[in-house]
């Protein structure tokens, strides 16, 4: 039987209004389906409170996917809250900002999607635009229009890993975010931008497979070959990691 790489997907907390006692750890099924289709075994990481528990879960992983979700607490990157800041999830921030340095130090493959590219950046000491529309004059509309509408193009650096994986240096992407990378973090190279200059893709500068994208390929992979190739490339890197550590 084929041994599939185990890819951790940290969850966020979701609760009915005013009922935090009924919160659940959850992640959209679209990520699970995309990873499973590409040949991985997704492992959902709940919002735990103890580092020892998180360490135990981390040791099971061959890769880490950072999913989309709510805003990151700006205190995590040294800023005061902007008036347009959305909902934050402090416990999810702690989980993900603990996992990224461990994965970076160990050379574990990482894929960050939407909030995930922002988490990756903050974990490496970078900063974020808290609200593109009010902070970046002349920016395109990057907020939610449709989960599957290819709202704008992203131009990729020709020598980037993403060009190799996606098979093109220009892709049309969906756009469902109001925040973005402001100052890139240590060890992250900007490899993709939209026409307004907003950073849409980054890669780690080392040998490890570390990629962050600002769009949502998990909503496109069934009909969009570049999105499907992104998950396939990530899972291939995780498979190689598993084989090397066997």
Q: For residues 131-162, b (16+ Cβ closer than 10 Å) or e, as one string?
A: bbeebbeebbebeeeeeeeebbebebbeebbb
Sheet holding 6-10, edge to edge: 41-45, 6-10, 63-66, 110-113, 210-213, 199-204, 188-193, 152-156, 170-173
Q: Is 218 a catalytic residue?
A: yes
Q: Is 11 a catalytic residue?
A: no
Closest CA to 142 of 181, 170, 112, 169: 181
* Tokens at 76, concatenated: 């995590």
Q: What is the CA radius of gyration of the chain?
A: 17
Environment class of residue 70 by beta-carbon count within 10 Å: exposed (0-12), middle (13-18) or buried (19+)? middle
Using DSSP, state whether 47 is helix, strand or coil: coil
d(CA 123, CA 117) in angstroms, rounded, equals 10
Which residue in 114, 152, 178, 232 is the catalytic one?
114
Q: Is 177 a catalytic residue?
A: no
What single DSSP character describes residue 218?
A: G
Are the C-beta atoms of 110 and 7 separated by less than 8 Å?
no
Which residue in 203, 218, 228, 232 is the catalytic one?
218
Closest CA to 10 of 61, 79, 85: 61
Which residue in 142, 216, 232, 238 is the catalytic one?
216
d(CA 197, CA 14) in angstroms, rounded, equals 33
Q: Which positions are catalytic?
A: 114, 216, 218
């Amino acid at each position: 039987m084929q041994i599939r790489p185990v890819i951790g997907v940290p969850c966020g907390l979701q609760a009915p209004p005013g009922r935090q006692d009924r919160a659940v750890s959850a992640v959209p099924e679209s990520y699970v389906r995309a990873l499973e289709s590409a040949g991985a075994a997704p492992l959902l990481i709940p919002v735990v409170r103890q580092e020892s528990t998180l360490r135990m879960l981390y040791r099971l992983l061959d890769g880490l996917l950072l999913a989309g979700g709510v805003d990151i607490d700006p205190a995590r990157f040294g800023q005061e809250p902007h008036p347009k800041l959305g909902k934050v999830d402090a416990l999810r921030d702690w989980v993900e900002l603990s996992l990224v340095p461990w994965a970076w130090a160990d050379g574990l493959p990482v894929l960050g999607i939407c909030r995930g590219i922002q988490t990756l950046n903050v974990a490496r000491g970078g900063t974020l635009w808290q609200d593109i529309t009010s902070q970046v004059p002349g920016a395109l509309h990057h907020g939610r229009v449709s989960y599957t509408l290819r709202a704008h193009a992203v131009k990729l650096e020709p020598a980037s890993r993403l060009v190799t994986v996606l098979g093109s240096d220009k892709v049309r992407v969906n756009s469902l975010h109001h925040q973005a990378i402001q100052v890139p973090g240590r060890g992250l190279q900007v490899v993709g931008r939209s026409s307004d200059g907003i950073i849409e893709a980054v890669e780690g500068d080392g040998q490890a497979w570390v990629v962050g994208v600002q769009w949502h390929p998990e909503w496109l992979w069934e009909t969009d070959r570049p999105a499907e190739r992104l998950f396939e490339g990530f899972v291939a890197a995780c498979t190689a990691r598993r084989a090397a550590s066997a």
